[in-house]
Amino acid sequence: MNNYDTIIIGGGHNGLVCGTYLAKNGDKVLVLEASDELGGLAATREFAPGFKASVAHTLFHFSDKVAKDLKLASHGFDINTRPMANVSLNANGEHVILDGWGSSSKLSGVSEKDAEKYREYQQLLKRFADVLKPFWLKTMPRIGSSSFKENLTFAHLGIKMRMLGRKDMGEFMRVATLPARDLMDENFDSEQLKALLSWDGLIGSKMAPRSPNATILALLYRMSGIHEGAHSLPTGGIKNLIKALQGSATASGVEIKTSAMVNKITIQADENGLKTNGVELDSGEIFTATRVVSAIDPQRTFLDLVGVQNLEIDFVHRIKRLRCDGYVAKLHLALSDLPKFVGLDIPDGRMVIADELDAIEFAFDDAKYGEASKKPVMEIVIPSLSDPSLAPSGQHVLSAHVMYVPYKHKDGWTEKAKTQLYERVIDAIERHVPDIREKIIHGEILTPFDLDKNYHVNGGHWHHTEMSMSQMLMMRPTYEAAQYSTPIPGLYLCGAGSHPGGGLMGGPGHNAAKEIMKEKS
């Protein structure tokens, strides 16, 4: 019988998290994944014979609560691994290195003044991050709601803010919307440090250091995990996290089908209106369910699977106009040997190529007009150092997030445009890794356009929907769908396009499951 309590569309980490919670709560759950691997953008796939990589290449705020609730440790996932150093590369080898977990991290390569300032800055941001922390794993109240219970969440936030004290609270409200550049300029002298610290607030968005309103919130969001925003690679790599999630799901009774592309969310109509009763696959196979939970992006969910004819016109418009275009390309290199970075013994950190804020700003300027950056900026990880299974023995994989590469190229993403981008990226890396070209066995660059095609994410945006201010909290993805339920009864969202947002965290999956269970009881 193809009948379930819950069908989850998309076997990415949020889909698995949500499904597992619901299965533990007694639901008969089916997870449908379009590709042959689970994990979505965190799936590990072979890009050259013997070489594997995943689009998401580090962890920085995976929820410890989710890990505990789903007993991921017993399925082989260890959240407490080694932190990765953040390295701002300098062609002369004068790197700025930030190493260790959040508060206990050590900063080197900057002046004593900057190092001192950094401690203050880190503590201030930590206090701000702590204010927001409880709200990432909570359903946001609906805007304009007159319900006392819903507004309690606002009251709670108000109290948390007040508890900061008058000075910090005032500062919080100022800093929250500050462009990254201003916050950095206020605190530091070292351009490399400024660029390094801004990086996490900017990556993934159509924003640059001078863009106001959202980047600091994005930084605070990333500081929500137990590692306060520091990056790490779990033992066995990202694929171990997906394996553990799969293990936990299966152990909880979740049924998983891969290579099962959902074509349509079936909608049933009666006098009272519409409701969903299942999904239809590309193959024509039909699965029925009491509820359908979509872990894929809001645009695909509503515009492609539900269909505009079942939705309201302005709602469709709000979904359509979401800022969803990705600006990050993914580079995978299969290397014959460990590359030698100028001034680094072992490249086991997260290496950022952006030696000043203007380098990021100017890279962004090209992308605004639909061109790939002439001088791209990027972060590089060698994941094969912590997970040797990703490459043949003695060989390595280089994985890089490259900014800014627009989803829509003004002339279309032709092979020529892609080759040009690839060459520019390798040129940029070569300045820091002079022998890189000799070591490349194979290389691929995935533009956001490719990510869209290969991973079924609209706009190729890792966060499904940009983390801009008007698309965060109770406005994510839009006010009618911010509490995980949608205008279609029985249809829920649990992907990165919902609060709290993208990144390997598990927040949306967790929150959606809680909300569904609350409705059930």
Q: Which residues bind other proteins (CB under 8 A)?
A: 142-146, 162, 166-167, 169-171, 173-179, 182, 185-186, 207, 210-214, 269, 271-274, 303, 307-317, 320-321, 323, 358, 361-362, 365, 368-369, 468-470, 475, 478-479, 487
- Those residues whose C-beta lies under 8 Å from the C-beta of residue 100, and which sit 6 or more positions away, are 83, 106, 230
Rounded distance between C-alpha atoms, residue 384 and residue 393, angstroms: 10
510, 16 Cβ separation under 8 angstroms: no
Rounded distance between C-alpha atoms, residue 298 and residue 457, angstroms: 9
Pick 334 or 403: Cβ nearer other proteins: 403
CA dihedral 267, 270, 273, 277 (to 10 degrees): -30
207, 219 Cβ separation under 8 angstroms: no
Pick 78 or 304: Cβ nearer other proteins: 304
Q: How far is the CB of 473 from other proteins (least distance, A)?
A: 10
* Three-state DSSP string of 483-515: CCECCCCCEEECCCCCCCCCCCCCHHHHHHHHH
Pairing assessment for the beta strands 440-446 and 262-270 based on DSSP bridges: unpaired
Pick 48 or 303: Cβ nearer other proteins: 303
Rounded distance between C-alpha atoms, residue 94 and residue 311, angstroms: 56
Rounded distance between C-alpha atoms, residue 496 and residue 327, angstroms: 16
Pick 45 or 275: Cβ nearer other proteins: 275
Q: How far is the CB of 157 from other proteins (least distance, A)?
A: 12
Pick 61 or 117: Cβ nearer other proteins: 117
Q: How far is the CB of 176 from other proteins (least distance, A)?
A: 8
Pick 219 or 334: Cβ nearer other proteins: 219
Strand partners, 292: 7, 491
Q: How far is the CB of 154 from other proteins (least distance, A)?
A: 9
Q: How far is the CB of 301 from other proteins (least distance, A)?
A: 13
Pick 302 or 422: Cβ nearer other proteins: 302
Sign of CA dihedral 192, 198, 200, 206: negative
CB atoms within 10 A of CB 303: 16
Q: How far is the CB of 211 from other proteins (least distance, A)?
A: 6
Q: How far is the CB of 274 from other proteins (least distance, A)?
A: 6
